[in-house]
Each structure stands twice: as structure tokens, then as C-alpha cells.
Amino acid sequence: MLDLVEQTNGATWIGLGGGRGGSKSAALQRVMIARRLQIPGTIGCMLMRNSDQIQRYHEDVIIRTWPSLDACYLKTKRKIVIPFRDGKASEIQFSYAESLEDVIRRFRSANYHDIFIDQAEQFTENELREIRQAVRWPGVPDGTCKLVLAFNMGGAGISFLRKKFHTLEYGPREKRENFAFIHVGPYDNVEWVRPALEADGLSPEVYYSWGEARRKEYCGQRSDYGQTLMSQDDALVKRDFEGSWDSLEGSFFGRSYDRDATVLTPEQTALLVRPWWQKWLAQDWGRGHYCPTYWNASGELSPKDAEKLLGWSISFPIKVVVTYREHIAGGAAEPDGGGTRELAEKDIARRLIERTPDVEREHLKDFFLSPDAFAKRQESVNTIAFEIGAVMSAAYMPEPRKADDDRVNGWALMSNLLLSSKRKGAKGDVAWLISANCPELISAIPLAMRDPKNLDDVLKTDKGQAKLEQDCLDAARYALKSMLEPGHKPREEEIQNKLREMAEQGLDQHSLMIHSWRLNNETPRDDAPVYMGRRHQTIIRR
């Protein structure tokens, strides 16, 4: 990579892609530092999608790896300034851009000698082309400034990267020699196999002298990380371990997901979601897994607002669903009622309450929870749903009820909603929009792979290894399928139908009121905990 970056009149688009764990991030850091030392007075930019990503994966790592740079690190300005004796100083700036609007604001008038993007698959073609225009520096020969794109296989921009670095498809004004690619995988990173090499009395030089096939075998069998990647289903092994371009053919939402059309800025979200819109929660609870929760809203969007807020040109109002808030629970926590589980369900409920503004709580209509949370447990007389519901109801929020877990029809619904967004509401279908405040969901959608055994289903891997992207997708599926296309009538509709039948049979108004109270407060809802008055703390255990 350093050789390619140092070439004058060489490639200016440099791709560094393949499997996970190939030391791509470390390569970006080392080459960026080398460039700033070699060319005093120049500025380089390290870029990722989110602020916490660039902080965690680059700023903190660089200072930890090269402590001498700590004196040059201006934390509040998020940059490293390297001084030279002649008065010139080089800079490494750390930046992020969550949307195309962010990219334009940060890079349209900027000048950088080099820009290195980590997890570049999360950026769209329009964003990458906009960033490329900021790779320029006065007084240097053509081909000196470089854009380096490090990426894994899968993401919003992977189809564009595939065209430029694999199938070699270029526009009439693009030159083949402006693009170069280095393929890497976890078997190219000696750190994963270093303990095994030491145990076998082998050196890293010996390891790198082997051919790729032998290194793959050794890494897959003798390293913990390699064994973890190899334990996955074949489609994920091809993507995460081998870093194969062919793995992209299995992308479930590849033809329906357009990040630019689907993702809203926080500002757009605030203007779009109205206080009176229908709102609900959905969560995928799992023992030993991540626990994502999503806040959702649906309402009607007028042609005027569609043009003003989204730039869409439509003739009639359309319905939109907005997923506008995300909370990911995970890691170790003290359990509330015994047992050995990673997630304390009452703590999760408390965090959801904290993240829901007071004015919003009364407008939340439903809370759909994964079916496994309603199962009986050995360590407690109460279900997970009961524990969560007890906390939620006391804070004037809906207690959970069982989500619709129809996987095939749920994925189909998600695909259709994304396709409507991609078409910008042109056909009047319901469109699904996602706020940039939900970064894990946005990252997860392009990573969904088709199950080779059932092409209508998303590949589900559960071999003792939690996968954040799968848990996020399940939570989003519960939210959309349970509210928009439930496999059974909502409880409220069932109650209204029963009351209507009673009224037709001549039941008086007073009796109807008594039956309404009984149906709403005494009849179990989908195995959920039952409350005497939804906004009170008196609980009846089933």
C-alpha cells in the first residue's frame, strides 16, 4: 500500500479490501503517519462514517500505539499536528460524515493531500465521488494526492467498489490506470497466528513465505479468530474469511436498498416525524446476544413536504414509516432476579424509558418483543416480557406483546418498503426511512445474506456467536411486520369487534362499558403480562 501511495502519476483511487481482520485499519494508520513525515506541511484526513468509530478505531489506537504522538494530539480539534524544524507542520485530521449532506459540508471546499477512508463500504458512490474532489493539493505533480478506501465485503457502497476494483467498469472519462486494488484477508495478518507460530518454532518470515492456500489453512485451524470466522455458514466464510467478491451475489437487500434515498439526517428526522404520528417500539431480546430496540413512527407525507424535506416529486400523499431512534444493549450486567444471563431486563427497560422523552411516552401505541422473551424460565417465575413490562407500564409506556415472527413475509415486507424509498415514493407504496441516529441498523441492512437453502429467507447463523447485524435486522423486522402486516388481528381490533357484536345483540351502554373494561384489563394479550389498568402498577401474574 505504501508503494502505491508513494507512486507519482500512479493510481489515485487505491482499494484495500477483502475479509475481516486483514489489518486494513493498521495499514491506514501507518501509511498516513509515514506520508505526513515524508511530506512536511501537508494535511491528511482519516475518515469513517460515525464519530465514535473514528475515535475508537483510529484516534485512540494511534495514541496508544505511538505514545510520542500524544504531545501532538489536539483532542478537542481532533487532529495530530506534527512540527518540523523549518516551521512547517503536517496534520492528520480525524473526521466523520453520517450523510451526503455531511460529506458536502465537510469536503466540498476542502483541500487534503490524502484522504484515507476506513469501512468505505458504508459510503455511497455519490459520497465517495464528492470526497474524491477534496483530494487535491497545490503545487504537486498529478497523481501525487491519494484516496485510499479500506473496506469489507458488504455495505451500501460495495456495488460501486466492485465495479471499480473487480469488474473494472469505468466511465468514458475514467482511466483504468487511476485505480489499484490490494486484496487482504485475516490469513494475511500474522498477529492472529503468532502464538501458534511460536508454539511450532516458526517465524513470521516463514509464515509469509508460504503460499496463500497454506496460510489460509494454518490461520483457519491454528488461530482463535480464524476458527471463529471459519465456524460460520459457507456464505459468511466466503465473505468474512476469504473476502470473496462472489459473496456479494447473496446480498438479500442488494437490489432494493439505496442508502441515499433511505437514510435521513437527524435534522430531517426531527422535521419529518410529527407529534401526532402513530409511534411504537420493537425489540429483539436474546440470551447472550445483543438486544437492539427501535423507535418507529408512521404517518402521511404530503407532496409539498416530500419535496421540501426529501426532494421527492410525488403527485399524491404517501404513507411513510420512520425508524428514528436506536438503543443497543449488550455486555455484562447484574441480573435482576438470579440466573446467569448477560442482560438485566429491568435495566434495559429503564434505559428505554430514559431515552424516550416524557411528551412521547403517552403516544407510544405498542411495544413488540421477540417471542423468546415470553418463554418460561427456570431461574424465575416471571418471563422476560413480564419483567420488562412491569417497569415500562409504571412509566406510562406500553407493556410488551409478542412480535410477529414470520421471517419470510417479514423480509419481503422490508424489501418492498426499501424499494419504495429507492423509487422515492413514485408508485405510491409505503416507504421506509431510517434516521442516521440508527447507525447499526443502517450498517446491518447491506450485510444481510440470502440463505442458500431458502432464498426467501435471510441467512441466520447461531453457533454460539452473537452477531449485531442479525439482531438489529430481527428487531427491525418485528417492528415493521407486527405493525404493518400482522399475522393476526391486533388486540384492540379484536376487542372492538367483540363489543360491536354485543351492541348488535342489544346490550345496553352500561353493560358494554363493563365488558370493555374486562376485555382490556383481564384478557391476556399474546402471552404478555397483564395489568389492572395500563398506567397503574397493580399486576396480575398469569
Is 463's pLDDT higher than 70? no
- Residue 299 forms part of a structural domain: yes
3-state secondary structure 3-55: HHHHCCCCCCEEEEEECCCCCHHHHHHHHHHHHHHHCCCCEEEEEECCHHHHH
Q: Chain-wide mean pLDDT for the chain? A: 88
User: Does residue 440 lie within any of the structural domains?
Assistant: yes
Among candidate residues 242, 267, 286, the one where a domain is terminated: 242
pLDDT computed for residue 333 by the predictor: 41
Q: Sign of dihedral through CA atoms 130, 134, 135, 136?
A: positive
Is 250 domain-assigned? no
User: Which grid coordinates are listed for 313?
Assistant: 416529486
Q: What is the CA radius of gyration of the chain?
A: 27
CATH at 81: 3.40.50.300
**3-state class (DSSP) for residue 516:** helix
Statement: residue 497 has pLDDT above 80: no
The answer for 270, left when phi > 0, alpha when psi is -120 to 50, beta otherwise, is alpha
Classify residue 350: in a domain, yes or no. yes
- What is the distance between the alpha carbons of residues 106 and 53, in angstroms, rounded to a whole number? 17
Task: Tell which of 134, 153, 184 closes a domain.
Answer: 184
Q: How far apart are CA 222 and CA 3, in angstroms?
A: 31
User: What 3-state DSSP class applies to 399?
Assistant: coil
Tell me the pLDDT band of 363, cut-offs 50, 70 and 90: confident
Tell me how many degrees the CA angle 401-403-409 measures, rounded to the nearest 5. 160
Q: What is the pLDDT of residue 336?
A: 43
Query: What letter represents residue 519's amino acid?
Result: L
CA distance 479 to 483: 6
C-alpha–C-alpha distance, residues 52 and 65, integer Å: 19
- Please tell me whether residues 131 and 277 are part of one structural domain: no
pLDDT band, residue 523 (cuts 50/70/90): very low
H or E stretch covering 329: strand 318-329
Give the Cβ contact number of residue 389 at 10 Å: 27
Give the domain extent around 514. Answer: 491-540
**Mean pLDDT, range 71-85, rounded to an integer:** 96
Q: How many whole angstroms separate alpha carbon 91 and alpha carbon 81?
A: 5
Q: Would 360 be classed as within a structural domain?
A: yes
Q: What is the pLDDT of residue 419?
A: 94
All three cell numbers of 129: 465521488
pLDDT at 404: 95
> 3-state SS string over 121-132?
HHCCHHHHHHHH
DSSP 169-237: ---TT--GGGEEEEEE-GGG-GGGTHHHHHHHT--HHHHHHS-HHHHHHHHHHH-HHHHHHHTS-HHHI
For residue 461, the model assigns a pLDDT of: 63
Strand partners, 319: 300
Structure confidence by residue, pLDDT tens digits, 214-236: 999 999 999 999 999 999 888 88
Percent of the chain with pLDDT over 70: 89
Tell whether 83 and 198 lie within a shared domain.
Answer: no
Question: Quick one: what percent of the chain has pLDDT higher than 90?
Answer: 68
Structure-model confidence comparison of residues 332 and 80, the more confident one: 80
Pair 446, 156: CB distance under 8 Å: yes
Q: Are residues 326 and 307 in the same domain?
A: yes
One domain for residues 313 and 367: yes
pLDDT digits (tens, 9 = 90+) for 401-416: 999 999 999 999 999 9
Q: Confirm if 281 and 364 have CB atoms less than 8 A apart.
A: yes
Angle between helices 384-394 and 345-354 (to 10 degrees): 30
Number of domains making up the chain: 4
Parallel, antiparallel or unpaired: strands 318-329 and 263-264: unpaired
Does residue 254 fall inside a structural domain? no
For residue 532, the SS3 value is coil
Beta pairing partners, 294: 282, 326
Q: Is residue 76 part of a domain?
A: yes
Regarding whether 384 and 354 lie in a shared domain, the answer is yes
Backbone angles phi, psi at 179, to 5 degrees: -125, 135
> Mind listing the pLDDT tens digit for each residue in 417-428?
999 999 998 877
Same domain assignment for residues 121 and 231: no
* Non-local CB neighbours of 474 within 8 Å, separated by 6+ positions: 284, 292, 370
Assess contact for 49 and 98: CB atoms under 8 A.
Answer: yes
On whether both 341 and 455 belong to a single domain, the answer is yes
Q: Are residues 109 and 238 in the same domain?
A: no
Q: Are both 202 and 159 inside the same structural domain?
A: no
Please report the DSSP string for 272-319 in residue order. HS-TTSEEEEEE---TTS-EEEEEEEEEEE-HHHIIIII----SS-EE
Query: What does the alpha-carbon distance between residue 282 and residue 188 come to, in Å, rounded to a whole number?
Result: 40
